[in-house]
């Protein structure tokens, strides 16, 4: 049994006290992975942005709002975990200035200056100990496999899962699991629980139990 | 018995296939108003943005995503309704350009040009027939009552309800109901269902049954 950190759901980056930038990540894939990990006997800590999804009762859930919050909580909890799965979709841009009062409409266009947020999975990947592993998710609309392998390397992941926008706020998913060499080691399509079960079995075998790999 | 249109929840304005601007409106106040209206024997059509809230079974629910969608659906359904309650928090800004592919991070700041969306309640207010009424909600962080009266007039509402950001994604609310003269005719604080029951009773008495008003 090991302890696994799962980041899940979206984050929010507020423009003012009412409006924010976010995405439709529902936390369902994170919940499904947590369920699969618990069933394999592992301990699970979920760092989650605001979602309507109910996480499995056996998992410890840390609620966050912004990407900075998600990074801080993930770094703190990762120190006592054996590995991390980054399935969250944290906002990667935030407004440079956050207004303290609701921006009033003027009839004129509004120019918003956005800056990049810190990369949660990349930070975990770059700072992981030799005995820790990190699995990332890459959500891309085009050049999916190529962009996933770029992210895999840049974020120092031990595996990366490539999926498309179909994953967002959906009950189903369609993914490819890539190893550090960028080779596709599994393809799964179906309900998020089915996909999570297969992915977690692969993570368990290859990264936790370190069973030698067999070609697909 | 009359037929009431309720707009509810947030809308989303996408920057690209993944990221959007939105707000934390949960649809709970809309659901509570629908419940109160159904209990008074009225028919209810809800035009709602994406929310996790379950609306009462007796209401007809039209699901929309963007503010343009919400306006189009509301205008279509309003023609066969006696009145409308605009409790939705539609995005009032949208990106001037919506990218068809996910915007890739470059390490550089991103400038986003936002333009105003059409105003759903104002459009209903301006185009209502003499036998129709419109009730708006104003969510402001400061100068609440003043800004509510400005909105009341600008949007041609028959009543406006002023509330603050406490209303967002919460089980409770704290509101003032203002008549066309800008006079406070009710103040209610408590669960959203309690607030909705009082507001719906006032709407029923003053706008539907047209019982002469009594001073507060």
**pLDDT score for B139:** 86
Partner-chain contact B18 A93, CB within 8 Å = no
What is the least distance, in Å, from the CA of A104 to any CA of chain B?
Answer: 9
**pLDDT score for A102:** 87
What is the least distance, in Å, from the CA of B111 to any CA of chain A?
Answer: 5
Partner-chain contact A109 B96, CB within 8 Å = yes
> Any catalytic annotation for residue B23?
yes
The 10s digit of each residue's pLDDT in A32-63 is 999 999 999 999 999 999 999 999 999 999 99
Give the mean model confidence (pLDDT) for residues A133-152. Answer: 89
Partner-chain contact A114 B116, CB within 8 Å = no
B184 Cβ under 8 Å from any chain A Cβ: no
pLDDT class of A177 with cuts at 50, 70, 90: very high
| Long-range Cβ pairs for the range A174-178 (8 Å, 24+) | A175/A199, A176/A144, A176/A145, A176/A148, A177/A202, A178/A145, A178/A148, A178/A149, A178/A152
pLDDT at residue A215 is higher than 80: no
**CB < 8 Å to B54, chain A:** none
Q: Which residues of chain B have pLDDT under 50?
A: none
B138 in a structural domain: yes
pLDDT class of A214 with cuts at 50, 70, 90: low
**pLDDT score for A136:** 96
What's the structural domain count of chain B?
1
**pLDDT score for B170:** 85
CA–CA gap between residue B209 and residue B78 (Å, rounded): 19
Give the mean model confidence (pLDDT) for residues A162-186. Answer: 89
The 10s digit of each residue's pLDDT in B112-146 is 999 999 999 999 999 999 999 999 999 888 888 88
B177 in a structural domain: yes
**pLDDT score for B213:** 59
B94 pairs with which residues across the strands? B115
Handedness of CA A120, A126, A130, A136 (dihedral sign): positive
CA–CA gap between residue B197 and residue B201 (Å, rounded): 6
**CB < 8 Å to A169, chain B:** 50
**pLDDT score for B212:** 66
Q: Is B119 helix (H, G, I), strand (E, B) or coil?
A: coil
**pLDDT score for A185:** 92
B105 in a structural domain: no
CA–CA gap between residue A48 and residue A65 (Å, rounded): 8
Domain containing A27 — which CATH number?
A: 3.40.50.10300
Domain housing B37: 3-98+114-208
CA–CA gap between residue A23 and residue A141 (Å, rounded): 14
Supply the DSSP string of B6-17, one letter for each residue.
EEESB--EESSS
Rounded to the nearest integer, the mean pLDDT of chain A is 94
**pLDDT score for B140:** 83
The 10s digit of each residue's pLDDT in A19-34 is 999 999 999 999 999 9
B74 in a structural domain: yes
pLDDT at residue A190 is higher than 90: yes
Q: Is A62 helix (H, G, I), strand (E, B) or coil?
A: strand
% of chain A residues with pLDDT over 90: 81
B43 in a structural domain: yes
**pLDDT score for B215:** 59
**pLDDT score for A216:** 57
B20 Cβ under 8 Å from any chain A Cβ: yes
A142 Cβ under 8 Å from any chain B Cβ: yes
Nearest beta carbon to residue A17 from set B96, B114, B165: B165
A107 Cβ under 8 Å from any chain B Cβ: yes
What is the least distance, in Å, from the CA of A49 to any CA of chain B?
Answer: 13
B35 in a structural domain: yes
């Amino acid at each position: 049994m090991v302890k696994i950190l799962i980041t899940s759901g979206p984050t929010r980056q507020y423009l003012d006290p009412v409006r924010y930038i976010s995405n439709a990540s529902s936390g369902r894939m994170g919940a499904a992975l947590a369920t699969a990990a618990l069933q394999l006997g592992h301990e699970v800590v979920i760092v989650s942005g605001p979602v309507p999804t109910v996480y499995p009762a056996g998992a410890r859930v840390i609620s966050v709002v912004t990407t900075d919050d998600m990074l801080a909580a993930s770094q703190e909890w990762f120190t006592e975990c054996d590995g991390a799965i980054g399935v969250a979709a944290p906002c990667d841009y935030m407004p440079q200035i956050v207004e303290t009062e609701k921006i009033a409409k003027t009839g004129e266009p509004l120019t918003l200056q956005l800056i990049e947020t810190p990369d949660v999975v990349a930070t975990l990947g770059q700072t992981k100990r030799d005995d820790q592993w990190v699995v990332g998710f890459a959500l891309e609309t085009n050049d999916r496999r190529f962009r996933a392998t770029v992210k895999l390397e840049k974020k120092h992941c031990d595996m990366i899962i490539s999926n498309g926008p179909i994953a967002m706020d959906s009950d189903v998913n369609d993914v490819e699991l890539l190893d550090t060499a960028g080779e596709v080691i599994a393809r799964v399509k179906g309900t998020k629980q089915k996909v999570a079960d297969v992915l977690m079995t692969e993570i368990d075998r290859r990264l936790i139990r370190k069973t030698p790999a067999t070609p697909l």
